[in-house]
Structure formats: structure tokens, C-alpha cells
């Protein structure tokens, strides 16, 4: 499959006015997603919020089917949650942590996840172990296996870290987790929508994802997938009348499927918009999306490598659509602003977002440029010309 770039850009109004290389932050929303969200909000205004939700019941159900298809799961394994961090939290805090439990994670783990590890470590006496990187800068699967012992309760890693193009070898991690019968939680915030994801091929038991990044969905949307045999082993950290049923004065029953991780009040327009975004990606084909994104990112890395003022900082055997770089004597925030003045969007990765990894690299900040399939070779070349001019 190939992507009709002209049609895609016509669906993306923002492409007319700027170069958007901040897709790992929030991608530009395509017209069908925008129309879905606005259309539902309009119906809420016309007939009422409850009534509009009831009217959209079939479309909402289809969104669960689409999300399941996207990751290779089943609809009853999907929970729609307001963002990827909260989705991840609902799985992580669902464990009954005990003193002495061990969590194995990666050096490039995301700040929100690591803060959660530290919280349960302080609260319950859990041990957190960051597995060393291998020679390529990705999680070492050999070191991971050596660190597993009888106290290991969870393996949890970020598939694609926030601060660079690294794609951690999630399937290799999943193989080890399965061999040792240890649950595996995957933060797929940056990978879902950018590449094909198959939870069975990866071997994870829980996966969290966001809508706003490579899926091109609305902000304030995300989902959690939990393997069916793990759903009832996890008790959500909080419940409401949607996640559970009040069965008597002193009793309740938790939903048997993944909707136990949801709550009753939800952003219905956003959920429908996320479903539309997932369908948009599925119609294009995730292999075609990956190929287009990777091609643009490779062109960008090669262009930056030809500029003596900049150093590309991406690590790993496989590299994705995120391209992080630094420039000698140039503050990344100043570079970001200089590009913004030319209607080119990038962002800045800071040490606090991946503390262990960036400390090991002796980096405080980096420029993060993240491309998508609607970006073009011409935009990449214009970006390299602009960044070269910033250094001169």
C-alpha cells in the first residue's frame, strides 16, 4: 500500500500554513476526525449530552472494535481513558503491591511512569531496577533476563522513549517475560499509530496509548488494552458506577471486562473522534504509515548529519519518526523559537522527562523534531535549510 500524500494533505488544513514536525507531541488532526468531534458537540448542543451519547451508541461500540483491531486484541479488552498516562496508571496501580516486589524497567523510561514506580517503592517497599542499555543504547534483553528473580513482579518499559528515535525491542522483552511468567506492561504512547502493533507478537499483557500523537486524534483521549486473562487480576485504583455495580448495602461487583478501568463521565465527542482517527489510520494501513514516517525521518537524520553544527542523538538498532539533536553553542529553546518564527514546529526534550537516560548522555536539553506521513521530502529539505541558517 502507498499513501496518497496529496489527498492526505488536503485532509489536513494545517499543512497549508506550516511545517509541523511536532507529531510526537500532538499531530495535526485530519478533517474526518475534526468533523466527527464537532458534529457530536453540535448534537450535544442541539438535543442534550445524554441524548447525543445514546444516539451515538453504535458509533461508540464501533470505536472499541477499531481500537481492538489496531493492536490485535478484542473489544472487551479495550478501555477508553482520558489520556495514555491515566490508562497506564489504571493498569499499574491495579497490582496488589507487596514489600520486596521488584519492577524491571528501562533506562529511557518516561518521567510519569518512573514517578509512579518511585511512589509504590516508597509506599510499599517495592524495588525499582532500571535495566542497563546494550551497546546500541536500547534496553539490553540479556541484562533483563539476568536481573529476573523470584521477586520480579512486573516488567514495564516504554516502547519509544519521548526524547529520541529509539524503538526498544519490545517483542524480545515480551519473549523473556512470557518465558518467566511475568506480566509485561508496555507504554506504547509514541508507537501506536506510527507502526503496526500486534500485542500477541509483542507478548505484552497490558498496553497504553494516546490519541493525540501519531494516531492524529483529539487531545484528552487514550486507551488501555489488557489481555483477557489479566483483567480480573487487576483491581482498578478507583471505581464508580460504570466500573462496578452496587449490589447491596455492603457489596459491589467490578465489571468483568476492561471497562472496569473506565469511568462513567467521559469525553464522548473525543471518544468518537479517536475512533475516527483509528479508522483513518487503519484505512491507510499501518505498514504504509510506518514506511512513510521512517523514510522522512531517515532523510531528516541524514540532512542533519551533513550539518557540522548539529549532532543527532538518536540511539537504537531501529529508529522511528522522532529525530532528536543538539547544536554546539545553540540553546534548544532558542532553536525552537527561531524555527517557530518561520512557521516550523518542533519541541524541546528536557533531562527531567527521561532523567536516567539523558543524565547518562550528559545532556540537559535536545531539540525534538518528529515527522509524520503527511510531511514531505520538500518539507524535510526546507527544515534542514532553516536549521542550517540558525547555526550561521
Q: What are the tens digits of pLDDT across the range 210-261?
A: 999 999 999 999 999 999 999 999 999 999 999 999 999 999 999 999 999 9
Q: How many Å apart are CA 154 and CA 183, to the nearest integer?
A: 5
Name 206's Cβ contacts closer than 8 Å, sequence gap at least 6. 91, 183, 184, 185, 186, 224, 225, 226, 227, 230, 234
CATH topology of domain 5-28+285-391: 3.90.1150
Looking at residue 28, the DSSP 8-state letter turns out to be P
Average pLDDT of the segment spanning 20-26: 98
Provide the mean pLDDT of the chain. 97
The domains of the chain are located at 5-28+285-391, 32-283
Of 100 and 1, which is predicted with more confidence?
A: 100
Predicted TM-score (pTM) of this structure:
0.96
CATH architecture, range 32-283: 3-Layer(aba) Sandwich (3.40)
Residue 128 scores a pLDDT above 90 = yes
pLDDT at 368: 98
Amino acid at each position: 500500500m502507498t499513501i496518497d500524500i496529496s489527498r492526505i494533505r488536503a485532509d489536513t488544513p494545517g499543512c497549508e500554513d506550516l511545517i509541523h514536525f511536532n507529531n510526537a507531541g500532538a499531530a495535526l488532526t485530519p478533517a474526518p476526525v475534526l468533523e466527527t468531534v464537532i458534529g457530536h458537540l453540535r448534537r450535544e448542543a442541539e438535543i442534550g449530552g445524554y441524548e447525543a451519547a445514546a444516539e451515538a451508541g453504535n458509533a461508540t461500540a464501533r470505536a472499541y472494535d477499531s481500537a481492538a483491531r489496531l493492536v490485535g486484541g478484542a473489544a472487551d479488552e479495550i478501555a477508553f481513558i482520558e489520556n495514555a498516562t491515566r490508562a497506564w496508571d489504571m493498569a499499574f496501580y491495579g497490582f496488589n503491591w507487596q514489600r520486596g516486589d521488584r519492577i524491571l524497567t528501562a533506562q529511557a523510561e518516561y518521567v510519569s511512569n518512573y514517578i509512579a514506580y518511585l511512589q509504590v517503592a516508597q509506599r510499599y517497599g517495592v524495588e525499582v531496577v532500571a535495566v542497563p542499555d546494550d551497546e546500541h543504547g536500547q534496553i539490553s534483553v540479556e541484562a533483563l533476563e539476568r536481573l529476573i528473580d523470584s521477586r520480579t513482579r512486573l516488567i514495564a518499559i516504554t516502547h519509544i522513549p519521548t526524547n529520541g528515535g529509539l524503538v526498544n525491542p519490545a517483542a524480545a522483552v515480551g519473549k523473556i517475560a512470557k518465558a518467566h511468567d511475568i506480566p509485561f506492561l508496555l507504554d506504547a504512547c509514541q508507537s501506536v499509530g506510527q507502526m503496526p502493533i500486534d500485542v500477541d507478537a509483542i507478548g505484552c499483557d497490558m498496553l497504553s496509548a494516546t490519541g493525540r500523537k501519531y494516531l492524529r486524534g483529539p487531545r484528552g483521549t487514550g486507551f488501555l488494552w489488557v489481555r483477557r486473562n489479566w483483567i480480573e487480576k487487576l483491581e482498578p485504583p478507583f471505581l464508580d458506577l460504570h466500573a462496578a455495580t452496587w449490589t447491596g448495602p455492603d457489596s459491589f461487583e467490578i465489571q468483568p471486562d476492561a471497562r472496569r478501568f473506565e469511568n462513567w463521565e467521559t469525553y464522548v465527542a473525543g471518544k468518537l473522534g479517536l475512533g475516527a482517527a483509528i479508522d483513518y489510520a487503519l484505512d491507510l494501513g499501518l505498514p504504509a504509515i510506518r514506511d512513510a514516517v521512517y523514510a522522512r525521518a531517515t532523510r531528516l537524520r541524514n540532512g542533519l548529519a551533513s550539518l557540522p553544527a548539529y549532532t543527532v542523538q538518536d540511539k537504537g538498532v531501529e529508529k522511528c519518526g522522532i529525530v532528536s539533536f543538539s547544536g554546539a553553542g545553540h540553546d534548544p529553546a532558542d532553536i525552537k523559537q527561531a524555527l517557530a518564527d518561520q512557521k516550523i514546529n518542533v519541541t524541546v526534550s528536557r533531562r527531567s522527562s527521561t532523567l536516567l537516560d539523558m543524565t547518562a548522555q550528559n545532556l540537559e536539553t535536545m531539540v525534538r523534531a518528529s515527522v509524520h506521513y503527511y510531511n514531505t521530502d520538500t518539507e524535510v529539505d526546507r527544515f534542514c535549510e532553516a536549521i542550517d541558517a540558525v547555526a550561521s
